[in-house]
A and B are shown apart, each in its own frame.
Chain A
Amino acid sequence: GAGVSQSPSNKVTEKGKDVELRCDPISGHTALYWYRQSLGQGLEFLIYFQGNSAPDKSGLPSDRFSAERTGGSVSTLTIQRTQQEDSAVYLCASSPTRRVETQYFGPGTRLLVL
């Protein structure tokens, strides 16, 4: 079946602009995660959604970052007033339930803030 998809693949924006990144998880997966990977670094947890529960936002670096998940499926990560340090690859992952530890990752969105 189809894997996790993300769009756009690449995004170039100017400092101060808002951006929206989209994630389509694997159909039926109830858990969805956003991570950020800066150049040459490991992944940094941002936010986690599980079913209809309140999301775990503990990894969001500032209030310029927000995410929502509509209908328990598609998720959008929004970065307002982008800064150059926001440049990174943003990765989305999903898993069938919280009890299933393996996460399935999308290809990521490479964001460049000029």
Chain B
Amino acid sequence: SQQGEEDPQALSIQEGENATMNCSYKTSINNLQWYRQNSGRGLVHLILIRSNEREKHSGRLRVTLDTSKKSSSLLITASRAADTASYFCATEGGYNQGGKLIFGQGTELSVKP
């Protein structure tokens, strides 16, 4: 069963605007990761934030994690048409969970030029 819930399900913005996607989860986690998927095929890892971290940056990406609210957000700044894709959060429950990832339903981002 899916652990994560993401909102919005779909987001349409203009190039240059910022895009914010949110993810909520249900159980305790070891880390939370964000992945990107183009055209319904393979996923690409974007960023990982550990349970003891609150914020992390990578290029135009900013991820926050609030373990008390069991939620995370992904911010893409100065969006580009090439950012158009589906974005998924995934949680990893810890060593005794074997590293398997529990994915959210995803946010479909459309960036219009």
Q: What is the interface of chain A, defined by CB distance below 8 A to chain B?
A: 4, 31, 33, 35, 37, 41-45, 48, 50, 56, 59, 89, 91, 93, 95, 98-99, 101-108, 110
| Chain A interface, DSSP helix/strand/loop, else mixed | strand
Which among B41, B48, B104 has the highest number of chain A CB atoms within 10 Å? B41
Which residues does chain A contribute within 8 Å of B42, judged by CB atoms? Answer: 4, 91, 105-108
- Give the CA-CA distance A48 to B99 in the complex, in Å: 9
22 contacts between A and B (CB under 8 A): A4-B42, A33-B99, A33-B100, A35-B103, A37-B40, A42-B2, A42-B104, A42-B105, A42-B106, A43-B43, A48-B100, A50-B99, A56-B98, A59-B100, A89-B40, A93-B43, A98-B99, A101-B30, A101-B92, A101-B99, A103-B101, A108-B40
The distance from the CB of A87 to the nearest CB of chain B, in whole angstroms, is 13
Apart from A42-B104, A105-B43, list 4 A-B contacts with CB within 8 A.
A43-B43, A43-B90, A50-B98, A103-B99
The distance from the CB of B96 to the nearest CB of chain A, in whole angstroms, is 10
Q: Mark B74-113, 1 if CB is under 8 A from A, else 0.
A: 0000000000000010101001001111111110000000
Q: Check A102/B105 contact, CB under 8 A, given A48-B100, A89-B40, A91-B43.
A: no
B contact residues, total (Cβ < 8 Å): 26
CB-based closest 9 A-B pairs: A42-B103, A43-B103, A105-B43, A107-B42, A105-B42, A42-B105, A98-B99, A45-B100, A102-B45
Identity of the chain A residue whose Cβ is nearest the Cβ of B95 in the assembled complex? A98
- Give the CA-CA distance A114 to B102 in the complex, in Å: 29
The distance from the CB of A113 to the nearest CB of chain B, in whole angstroms, is 17
Which residues does chain B contribute within 8 Å of A103, judged by CB atoms? Answer: 45, 99, 101
**Would you call A104 and B45 a contact (CB within 8 A)?**
yes
Cross-chain contact of A45 among B30, B40, B101 (Cβ < 8 A): B101
Identity of the chain A residue whose Cβ is nearest the Cβ of B105 in the assembled complex? A42
Which residues does chain B contribute within 8 Å of A56, judged by CB atoms? Answer: 98, 100
| Interface status of B31 (Cβ within 8 A of chain A) | yes
**Would you call B104 and A105 a contact (CB within 8 A)?**
no
The distance from the CB of B8 to the nearest CB of chain A, in whole angstroms, is 14
